[in-house]
C-alpha cells in the first residue's frame, strides 16, 4: 500500500504542474517547492539542533504560533523549521520572525521525506491540527524522532476511521502523542486503540486571548468610525458579500461597515465596491480621503484584521456561506463582541459551542442577515450580553499551550529531545 501511495504521489506531480499553467495558486504551489531541499541544505547545519513545525496553511499557523513562541523562549538553543503545505499560508508568513527557516513542505514521496528528515534532523516534529503525511511520519519513526499532533481534530468521516483506511491508520500510529481539541476526537482515537491522547483544547484560544494585551490602536479606524456602530465583516468571500450587500445598502447612517475580503484582488474588490450604494473607501486610499464621510471601509491589505476587530460592535466572519471553510471566529470573540456567520459550519466545533451559548448566530440568506443584524444594532443590552458571553467563552478555554509545553518539557528533561 505504501508503494502504491508513493506512486500516486509521483503521478500527482505531473497534474500539479499542468494545473499550475492555468492557476496562479497552483503555480506558486509547484514553483515554491523546486529548491526547498537545496535551501534547507544551505540553511541547516549538521550540528544544529532543530524542532520542526508543520502547518497546512494560515489558520494552522495561528494555532501553532503560541507553541512556537513558547519554545523559542524556553529552548533558544533549537532552531525552528516551519513548513507549509499551502501557498496561502507560506506567502503570507514566509518572513515571520518566529522561525529560523520557513519553507514549503516537499511533496510526500519516499525520497523527499527521507532527504528532508535527514537534512532537518529534528529533535521533535510538531504537526498542527490535521496534517498527516505517511512517508514523512514513517521516516520520522525510522529516525527515532518523536512526533506529536497539537490542536488535533478528528471526525468520523475521515479515512482513519473507515474500513479502507488501514494504511492511514498505520501512519497515524507512528505519532507519539496526540493533543486534541475535544472528547469526540479522543474517543475516535481510543476506538483505534490509541491511548496516548490528551484533551488539551485549541491553542487558538491562547493566541487570540493574548491579542487583547497588544496595542490594537489604529487611528485611521477611529477617524472612520467616530461614534457610529461598527460592523466588521472579516475574511469575506463572494458568497458572504452577496447576502451582506443588501443590508449594507439599506443600513442607517449611524452604522459603518469595515469589510476585509479574504482575497485581496483589485478586480474582485472593484466589483464588490460598485455594488455599494454609499460612499466607500479603500484602506490604500485612507491618507488622501475624508474617512469620516465614508460609510464602508474596505481593507485591501493583509495582516490588519485582528486589530480591526478591536473596533467592532458586531462581527460577521466569512467562509461559511460557501464551502471554503469558516474563518477564525475567536479573533472577534476575544474582544467581547457577538459573531454572525454563514450556514456551513458543521466542521467547526468552536462555532457550534459558541452558538449553543447564544453568542454566535448563523444566517443562510439576506432576510436572516437583516433580522439578526437589526436586533443586534437596535438592542444594546442584547448586543452587549451576547458579546460578554463570547469574550468569556474565549477566556474560559485558554491553557492548551501550557499543557503541551509541559509534555515537551518532560521529553527534554528525560533526554528524549
pLDDT by residue, tens only, the chain of 417 residues: 776 666 556 566 545 544 545 566 656 665 667 789 999 999 999 999 999 999 999 889 999 999 999 999 999 999 999 999 988 888 889 999 999 999 999 989 999 999 999 999 999 999 999 888 999 999 999 999 999 999 999 999 999 999 988 999 999 999 999 999 999 999 999 999 999 999 999 999 999 999 988 999 999 999 999 999 999 999 999 999 999 999 999 999 999 999 999 988 899 999 999 999 999 999 999 988 899 999 999 999 988 999 999 999 999 999 999 998 999 999 999 999 999 999 999 989 999 999 999 999 999 999 999 999 999 999 999 999 999 999 999 999 999 999 999 999 999 999 888
Q: Verify that 57 and 81 share a domain, yes or no.
A: yes
Residue 45 CB neighbours (<10 A)? 10
User: What count of residues does the chain have?
Assistant: 417
Q: Verify that 142 and 265 share a domain, yes or no.
A: no
Task: Tell me the C-alpha distance between 68 and 82, whole Å.
Answer: 9
Active-site hit among 47, 60, 222, 406:
60
Burial (CB count <10 Å: 0-12, 13-18, 19+), residue 218: middle
> Residue 144: inside a domain, yes or no?
yes
Domain range for 119 is 31-201+399-414
* Contact predicate 272/353, CB 8 Å: no
Task: Tell me the C-alpha distance between 368 and 18, whole Å.
Answer: 42
Task: Tell me the C-alpha distance between 127 and 151, whole Å.
Answer: 9
Q: Verify that 179 and 298 share a domain, yes or no.
A: no
> Residue 383: inside a domain, yes or no?
yes
> Residue 9: inside a domain, yes or no?
no
194: CATH? 3.40.50.11720
Q: Verify that 229 and 317 share a domain, yes or no.
A: yes
Q: Verify that 171 and 228 share a domain, yes or no.
A: no
Domain count, the chain: 2
**Is 60 an annotated catalytic residue?**
yes
Instruction: List all residues 6 or more positions away from 216 whose beta carbon is below 8 Å from its beta carbon.
Output: 306, 307, 310
This prediction has a pTM of: 0.86
> Residue 16: inside a domain, yes or no?
no
Q: Verify that 390 and 410 share a domain, yes or no.
A: no
Residue 105 has what DSSP assignment?
P
Task: Tell me the C-alpha distance between 119 and 44, whole Å.
Answer: 7
Amino acid at each position: 500500500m505504501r508503494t502504491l501511495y508513493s506512486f500516486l504521489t509521483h503521478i500527482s506531480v505531473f497534474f500539479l504542474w499542468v494545473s499550475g499553467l492555468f492557476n496562479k495558486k497552483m503555480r506558486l504551489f509547484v514553483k515554491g517547492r523546486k529548491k526547498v531541499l537545496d535551501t534547507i541544505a544551505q540553511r541547516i547545519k549538521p550540528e544544529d539542533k532543530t524542532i520542526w513545525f508543520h502547518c497546512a496553511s494560515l489558520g494552522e499557523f495561528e494555532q501553532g504560533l503560541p507553541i512556537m513562541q513558547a519554545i523559542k523562549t524556553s529552548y533558544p538553543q533549537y532552531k525552528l523549521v516551519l513548513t507549509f503545505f499551502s501557498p496561502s499560508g507560506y506567502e503570507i508568513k514566509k518572513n515571520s520572525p518566529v522561525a529560523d527557516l520557513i519553507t514549503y513542505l516537499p511533496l510526500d514521496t519516499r525520497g523527499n521525506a527521507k532527504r528532508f528528515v535527514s537534512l532537518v534532523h529534528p529533535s521533535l516534529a510538531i504537526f498542527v491540527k490535521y496534517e498527516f503525511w505517511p512517508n514523512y511520519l514513517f521516516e520520522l519513526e525510522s529516525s527515532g524522532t518523536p512526533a506529536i499532533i497539537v490542536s488535533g481534530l478528528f471526525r468520523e468521516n475521515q479515512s482513519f476511521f473507515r474500513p479502507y483506511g488501514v494504511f492511514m491508520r498505520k501512519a497515524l500510529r507512528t505519532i507519539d502523542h496526540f493533543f486534541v481539541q475535544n472528547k469526540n476526537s479522543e474517543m475516535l482515537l481510543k476506538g483505534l486503540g490509541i491511548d496516548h491522547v490528551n484533551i488539551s483544547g485549541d491553542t487558538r484560544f491562547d493566541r487570540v486571548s493574548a491579542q487583547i494585551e497588544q496595542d490594537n490602536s489604529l487611528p485611521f479606524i477611529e477617524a472612520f468610525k467616530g461614534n457610529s456602530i461598527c460592523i466588521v465583516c472579516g475574511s469575506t468571500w463572494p458568497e458572504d458579500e452577496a447576502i451582506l450587500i443588501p443590508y449594507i445598502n439599506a443600513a442607517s447612517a449611524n452604522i459603518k461597515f469595515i469589510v476585509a475580503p479574504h482575497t485581496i484582488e483589485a478586480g474582485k474588490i472593484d466589483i464588490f465596491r460598485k455594488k455599494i450604494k454609499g460612499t466607500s473607501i479603500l484602506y490604500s486610499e485612507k491618507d488622501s480621503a475624508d474617512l469620516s464621510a465614508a460609510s464602508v471601509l474596505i481593507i485591501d491589505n493583509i495582516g490588519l484584521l485582528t486589530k480591526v476587530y478591536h473596533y467592532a460592535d458586531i462581527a460577521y466572519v466569512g467562509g461559511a456561506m460557501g464551502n471554503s471553510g469558516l474563518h477564525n471566529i475567536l479573533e472577534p470573540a476575544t474582544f467581547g463582541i457577538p459573531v454572525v456567520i454563514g450556514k456551513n459550519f458543521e466542521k467547526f466545533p468552536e462555532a457550534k459551542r459558541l452558538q449553543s451559548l447564544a453568542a454566535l448566530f448563523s444566517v443562510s440568506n439576506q432576510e436572516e442577515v437583516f433580522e439578526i443584524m437589526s436586533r443586534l444594532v437596535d438592542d444594546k443590552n442584547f448586543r452587549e450580553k451576547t458579546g460578554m458571553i463570547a469574550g468569556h467563552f474565549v477566556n474560559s478555554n485558554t491553557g492548551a499551550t501550557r499543557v503541551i509545553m509541559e509534555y515537551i518539557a518532560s521529553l527534554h528533561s528525560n533526554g528524549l529531545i
